[in-house]
A and B are shown apart, each in its own frame.
Chain A
Amino acid sequence: MIEVENLSKSYGPRQAIKNICFQVNKGEVVGFLGPNGAGKTTTMNILCCLIPASQGTARICGHDIFERSLQIRKIIGFLPETPPLYAEMTVAGFLAFAARIRLVPANKTAAAADRVLEKCRIQDVRHRIIGRLSKGYQQRVGLAQAMIHDPQILILDEPTTGLDPIQIIEIRKLIKDLASSHTIILSSHILPEVTQICQRVIIINEGEIAAMDSLDGLTSAMRKSERLHLKTRNAPPGAAERLRQLRRVISVRPEDRGQFLIECELDSGLQDEVARLALEDRWGIVELKPVALTLEDIFLKLTTEEGGPHHETIPDHR
């Protein structure tokens, strides 16, 4: 559906993105993840034919973004970082305008507007002036304009910024609903969001793809160590030291009231050892469980590793 090949973009001497390659299949929900200024917005703007790439190309549904940009603009719906809203218009008036410039036939404009008003739950503000709406509602109007022509592909640049927690949950739910019938690319710097919505994650750092995989794939590929969480009722003061002396343990971090986070080598089968130690010394074991690597850990690892991201560490899912 979307094929991006060696895409680069420089603003003067500064390279915003470097040799980005990825593919998105039909019906997928892909999350762009990266710190601020990583090149997420640049990539999305290029895909939406707003700015040209310096090098490389991309094809959407087989159309080249430079040569057939008009065709592409027919099949994508774009929600830019700042929702493009005319503050002086009413919601209904604005959506009617958006429908017309997105070439929705005149006799279907009203139906299209009703559909997105309902989907984005903004029927009750349809006659209000956009400039007077709260940020959350404005964001939803922005989402509504992106969907007005029922595009095959939705490109959403940070769809949940500036919203309160309840609105964030609603927008996420909306995106999940949309996922069944659309191909979606969304960007975010909020990790849990991506874990909740997306099937696949592309982590961008300093203009390069640092990793690209499904969530499970990323987690397992990035696992260089295992972590165990041990909770006891009455571990003695020297317990952490005893744990450290076990074979294949990398580090032990005592947490409050008899709890420890133990990092050990992969597949070391350390649970047995730890359990035996705790039982023999009567620490009163309450809980012993492996701790999964969260996306946050992966993200931090990828984006803060010394010397920046390394190509060797890119786990390719293909």
Chain B
Amino acid sequence: MKQSLTIAKRELGSFFSSPVFYVVCAVFLIIYGFIFFNILNYFSLQSLQASQFQGMDAGFNLNEMVIEPSLQNMAVILLLIIPIITMRSFSEEKKTKTINLLLSSPIHLKEIVAGKFLACMAVVTVMLLLSSYSVLFLLAIGKPEIGPVASGYLGLWLMAGCYISAGVFASSLTDNQIIAAVVGFGFTLFMWIIGWGAQAAGPGFGELLKFLSLVDHLERFLKGIVDSSDAIYYLTFIVFGLFLTHRVLDSKRWR
């Protein structure tokens, strides 16, 4: 597994030396900042009104009314942005033929796949950490509960892992980065909305579709509930995506 760290390290180096990362990160932070600001503004307006009319704190909750919707929105922004981060992972290597260096080296394919995944994961972790200024801000001006914030971030982080896993898989299919991004995006969006089919599908199958949906599992994390079944769902999703990536790349050796 040491080799996957080597690969991840190299991958990160090229992320940080290319403008893509900085542009993506800036766009992410600007949009998230805008959303956060507006949610916070709405919250303060409402609590002001409530205190005027009823003369009392209506039990408004920072966690429920600011952090939860903010993180929910962040999940959507990540859905749009992560395919841009993952699209280059294998597509670019295929295009520039550098993949031959990796494949002719005495390292296992799974180490290569894991390395790519870890690098993207590190990038997204950096982005999530940068976005946490919003929570620090709330800590400075109010008293949000830290537990649900932590579990919400954990849920987002795991969900981002799923996006990355799907994106890396899409990237392994093609040497065209745009196709990789579009397929990765389409795949994650589909997994996001797959629960909508529940009604049409009928009771039994519908439950399954609901369970497969990425977004349903996030709800509980955002509310502060860390259910092992949700965590296991995300981890399984990640591993399955990486497994498919491995199969696609491996098939080059026997196809």
Contact = CB atoms under 8 A, between A and B. Distances in A.
Interface of A: 48-52, 69-71, 73-74, 76, 78, 80-82, 84-89, 93, 97-98, 100-103, 145
Nearest to A76: B104
Contacts of A52: 253-255
28 contacts: A48-B104, A49-B103, A49-B253, A50-B100, A50-B103, A50-B104, A50-B252, A70-B106, A80-B97, A82-B97, A82-B100, A84-B96, A84-B97, A84-B98, A84-B99, A84-B101, A85-B98, A86-B10, A86-B96, A87-B96, A88-B18, A89-B10, A97-B10, A98-B101, A100-B3, A100-B6, A101-B101, A103-B106
A88 B255 CA distance: 32
Contacts of A69: 253
Contacts of B13: 88-89, 93
List the 8 closest A-B pairs by CB distance, nearest first. A84-B101, A73-B106, A74-B106, A82-B97, A84-B98, A101-B105, A78-B104, A100-B6
A93 B6 CA distance: 12
B101 A145 contact: yes
Contacts of A73: 104-106
Nearest to B252: A51
A51 B7 CA distance: 22
B125 interface: no
A101 B3 contact: yes
Contacts of A81: 97
B107 A101 contact: yes
Interface string B73-111: 000000000000000000000001111111111111000
Contacts of A100: 3, 6
B17 interface: yes
Nearest to A99: B6
A89 B6 CA distance: 14
Nearest to B97: A82
* Most chain B CB within a 10 A radius of its CB, from A71, A100, A103: A100
Contacts of A50: 100, 103-104, 252-253
Q: Which of B6, B98, B99, B101 has the most CB of A within 10 A?
A: B101
Among A81, A82, A86, the one with the most B-chain Cβ atoms within 10 Å of its Cβ is A86
B199 interface: no
B2 to A, nearest CB: 8
Contact of A101 (B100, B102, B253, B255): B102
Interface in B234-255: 252-255
A94 to B, nearest CB: 9
Contacts of A76: 104
B49 interface: no
B44 interface: no
A242 to B, nearest CB: 60
B6 A97 contact: yes
Given A76-B104, A78-B104, A86-B10, 17 more contacts: A48-B104, A50-B253, A51-B253, A52-B253, A73-B105, A82-B97, A84-B97, A87-B96, A88-B14, A88-B18, A89-B13, A97-B6, A98-B101, A101-B3, A101-B105, A101-B106, A101-B107
A85 B7 CA distance: 14
Contacts of A51: 252-253
B100 A80 contact: yes
A142 to B, nearest CB: 9
A61 to B, nearest CB: 13
